[in-house]
Structure 1
């Protein structure tokens, strides 16, 4: 329930604070006095669009606050709890700057405008003065019926399943369109990976093969030259070792060979002899280990040829083949897995379609059951509004394609007079009839709302006389069980209210101000008299107003 509305520097209001209670509150004032300002301020607190024109001329910003008692609003409390906000009450604040930008807070925490709107839908319902115009669009009929039947949560759940189903369908279509391209890629990868599998190149195999190829290709030359070099070192007659041996023998027999230069020379010759012996031994080992294997050479050269050929096919260096093999294998594995994903996605689409169909059929059945009771209640209200001979019905027709809202469309039909066929509401010609039909529908919808705070903005337009008094009685009944605020120009409606808020425009200090005040009984009589007879109030008009107020405030029997 809305308990307080505070306005500062908004439109032509400098400062105003309104405390509200339950019941029906009438809001009246002369044309142009600013009755719409009150609802405009409330609308901004509930997430309506803001602009620079909202700010009072000459001021930097407009500051608006709406406080709600949410004791009877479990949905609102749950919404706040999900966002870890206090749930003992709800305080919405909106500040609009002179440049048109705005900021919002919920219970003191900065909030997005979309959050204000989402929470506001759980706090209060506003029935605008153009509601009868909205009823000209059949799309609003389904919403009204769902509100009446309490099916909004079911509609939201169906919408989620529908959106999941459509998303899955789009993904499946896209994947299938990409299927032929993926198949071609899969076939190419299969061939390439199989070729690399057969090659099975090891990480260090390439340099080993290249070294081996060099050795095998020059084996005869290496064997011949190493053997020749070994023979030069150790041949019995003319080899270097034999000659060194002879030289040492000659020098060792000379006088003084153990001292001086000769001794040093003999030492060096001895070292040279040892080194030649070791070199000869190494050369003999090398010659013995050098393979003469044409078959192995052919194998190595063929393998190197395969390695270089495949590397050229992929435009990479041969040593990059192992990394390429790993990448292509992973891509092929992913493509193969995607084939299974396609089957899974197709199954998901079918499952979501079945879930949507079942939920939509269940929702449609609930709507048809509620439609009968809804039509009966609207029929009763029409009779109350002097249209007892009218016939109201709710018609269903299947949609051409499934939608988030379900499988059927809903449209209100009415026959205003006996003997006439029921026609779509949009075909009703009389503005007065349309206003009463609209009011009957809104009263029925509001009476079943889980939200106890309702705002009616001149929904009584087009009615007068006894019917206007009945409209007031309808609104008062709604206020008996909750909170109703109604902007009205009819004294018969205003007289029925539990409280009366008067709005007037005054000029002061070369500027225009709007004044709002809750009226006492005397003030109410004067305002009702003004609404009945204009500015110059006669005693008769005042007496009529006093009698109207007294009669409307008596308990019903």
Structure 2
């Protein structure tokens, strides 16, 4: 409930601070006195967009603050979702700066207008004649029916199941799309994979093949040059080996004369040994060489296969080809396993649908039982509101389609006159009739669920006499379970309030400002008398006002 409201520098309101109680609070005042300003300020507090025209004094910021008791509203989860501190006494503040920038706070934490609006919808329901079209929507009609059906647990279970169904159906669509795409490419991928598998590629193979190919293709030159090298080393006449031996013998004979000669002798000895080893290696290499056209052709063909695969896949190494082979293997395997995955998820979907059908059937049973009760109660209230012939024709049927709150189609048809044709509310009900229907529905809802604070904004327009008394009685009934405000021009409703406020204008220092005043009993008698008979208050109007107040 709204505990208090503070408004500073908003439109014609310079500064206003007011506290509210439970029960029914009525707000009266002449047309144009500024009652709509209160609703405008509350609208900003609950998340509506603002502009600079909201500021009275453009040099200062506009501030609107409301203190709410939210203990009965079960809002802890909403606060958790929005990452806000949950406080039983919650403070909402809205600021509009001279620059036009707007800021919003919940318990001093900055929030977006979206977050503010989410909370606002759970705190205050501003109900005016132009908002009665909500009653014509199927969603709202289900909401009312469900308040009476006591199917809350089943509906929550259904919604969880429906959410899971949508997730699984999305997974199924993704799998089917993948299957379609992969199936289209499967034959080609299989061909590419088989080609790579048959090539029996090995990491590092390319370098070895290229080296072997280079050797085989140049074997004659290699043989010739190796033979020359062997001759130069081991020739008996001018061989390097013999010449080196001569040098070695000469040095060995003088090595003992000095350490430096000894070192040179040792070095030549090392060179001689290395030369012998090199000569052996040359001989071995020469012996290994054998022109082999078949092997050359085999290596050339192998290289051609690898080069063709590199060109086809636009890569430059066997390692990259092996990576592609792994990827192709995964795609081919995935295509072949997708059918099993799709079959598995189809079974899951079937199980979920079966469970949803069972829950939907239970919801249907409860709603079917509650629907006549709703119609009877609503028709009874409307009779008291001057609509004695108002009747509803309803039907509730199970459908195949899974809807957001069940599997039913609800038909809620209305006729205001005896023997009249039934039709949809939005087509056959007038604005005044819709307003009374909505009031009746709110009364019924207040018996079965915890509603937010309700503000009735002149929904009594065009009503008088006994019907006005009945409206006042209904508002009083509602106010036993929730906080109710009524902005009204009717003395019958104004008098029924536990408290009454008057909105009025006055000039202060040649500036018009809007005020809100809590009326004393004497003030209320005077105000209600003026509502009955005008500014020139008669004794009979005062007597009538007193009787209304003390009724």
Q: TM-score range by the shorter chain?
A: 0.7 to 0.9
Counterparts of 2:177 and 2:94, CA distance in 1: 49
1:127 equivalenced with 2:127 (yes/no): yes
Q: Which stretch shows the higher mean deviation, 93-102 or 337-346?
A: 337-346
Distance 1:137 1:245, change over 3 A: closer
* Contact 2:445-2:451 within 8 A present in 1 as well: no
SS of the equivalent of 2:88 reads: coil
Give the C-alpha shift of residue 473 in structure 1.
1.2
Unaligned 5+ segments in structure 1 are 552-557
For the Cα contact (< 8 Å) 1:139–1:410, is it kept in 2? no
| Cα distance in structure 1, aligned partners of 2:241 and 2:85 | 106
Q: Which stretch shifts more, 463-472 or 445-454? A: 445-454
Asked if the contact 1:81–1:87 (Cα under 8 Å) also holds between the matched residues in 2, the reply is no
CA distance in 2, matches of 1:5, 1:183: 66
Secondary structure of 2:460's aligned partner: coil
User: Contact (CA 8 Å) 2:149, 2:370: kept in 1 or not?
Assistant: yes
The Cα offsets for residues 233-292 of structure 1, whole Å up to 9 and x where unpaired, read as 5456x56379859999xx99xxx9x99xxx99xx89x97987775554333222233355
Q: Which moved more, 1:332-341 or 1:453-462?
A: 332-341
Distance 1:393-1:26 versus aligned 2 partners, 3 A rule: farther
Deviates more, 1:218-227 or 1:119-128: 218-227
Relative to structure 1, the CA distance from residue 275 to residue 524 in structure 2 (aligned partners, 3 Å threshold; closer, same or farther) is closer
Distance of 1:218 and 1:28 partners within structure 2: 112
User: For residue 307 of structure 2, what is the aligned residue in structure 1?
Assistant: 308
In 1, Cα distance between the equivalents of 2:490 and 2:274?
A: 130
Alpha-carbon distance in 2 for matches of 1:234, 1:386: 133
1:7-406 aligned within 5 A = 7-73=7-73, 75-80=74-79, 83=83, 85-98=85-98, 100-149=100-149, 158-159=158-159, 161-162=161-162, 165-166=165-166, 168-169=168-169, 172-173=172-173, 175-177=175-177, 179-219=179-219, 222-223=222-223, 226-227=226-227, 229-231=229-231, 233-234=233-234, 238=237, 240=239, 280-291=279-290, 293=292, 295-319=294-318, 320-332=320-332, 340-396=340-396, 401-406=401-406
Tell me by how many angstroms 1:357 deviates: 3.8
Structure 2 vs 1, CA of residues 429 and 383 (structure 1 numbering), >3 Å: closer, same or farther?
Answer: closer
Alpha carbons 1:28, 1:488 under 8 Å: kept: yes
Counterparts in 2 of 1:426 and 1:326: CA distance versus 1, 3 Å: closer
By how many angstroms is 1:304 displaced? Answer: 1.9
- Aligned pairs, how many? 538
**Structure 1 residues 87-96 or 129-138, which shifts more?**
129-138
1:514 maps to 2:514: yes
Offset of 1:435 from its aligned partner? 4.1
Please give the alpha-carbon distance, in whole angstroms, between the structure 1 residues aligned to 2:34 and 2:310.
83
For the 8 Å contact 2:450–2:481, the answer to whether it is kept is no
- Aligned equivalent of 1:407: 407
For structure 2, the 5+ residue unaligned runs are none
Q: Could you tell me how far apart the structure 2 residues matched to 1:325 and 1:545 are?
A: 94
389-398 or 490-499, which deviates more: 389-398
CA contact (8 A) 1:435 1:463 kept: no
Distance 2:75 2:207 in 1: 74
Q: Would you say 1:443 and 2:443 are equivalent positions?
A: yes
Relative to structure 1, the CA distance from residue 289 to residue 88 in structure 2 (aligned partners, 3 Å threshold; closer, same or farther) is same
TM-score, with length taken from structure 1: 0.83
Specify whether residues 151 and 20 from structure 1 end up closer, same or farther in structure 2 by C-alpha distance, changes over 3 A only. Answer: farther
Report the Cα offset of residue 28 of structure 1: 0.8
Assess, with a 3 A threshold, how the Cα gap between structure 1 residues 309 and 391 changes in structure 2: closer, same or farther. closer
Q: What is the DSSP-based 3-state SS (H/G/I as helix, E as strand, rest coil) of the residue aligned with 1:466?
A: helix
Give 1:196 shift. 1.9
Q: CA deviation at 1:190?
A: 2.3
Q: Alpha-carbon deviation of 1:118? A: 1.9
Aligned 8 A contact 2:150 2:366 in 1:
no
Q: Does the 8 A contact of 2:84 with 2:106 survive in 1?
A: no
Deviation string, structure 1 residues 177-210 (Cα, Å, up to 9, x no partner): 5544322323322222232223232222211222
1:339, distance to aligned residue in structure 2 (A): 5.2
1:4 aligns to 2:7 (yes or no): no
Could you tell me which residue of structure 2 aligns to residue 545 of structure 1? 545
1:111/1:351 Cα in 2 relative to 1: closer, same or farther (>3 Å)?
farther
SS in 2 for 1:14: strand
Cα distance change on mapping 1:281 and 1:534 into 2, 3 Å: same
2:502 and 2:518 in contact (8 A); partners too: yes
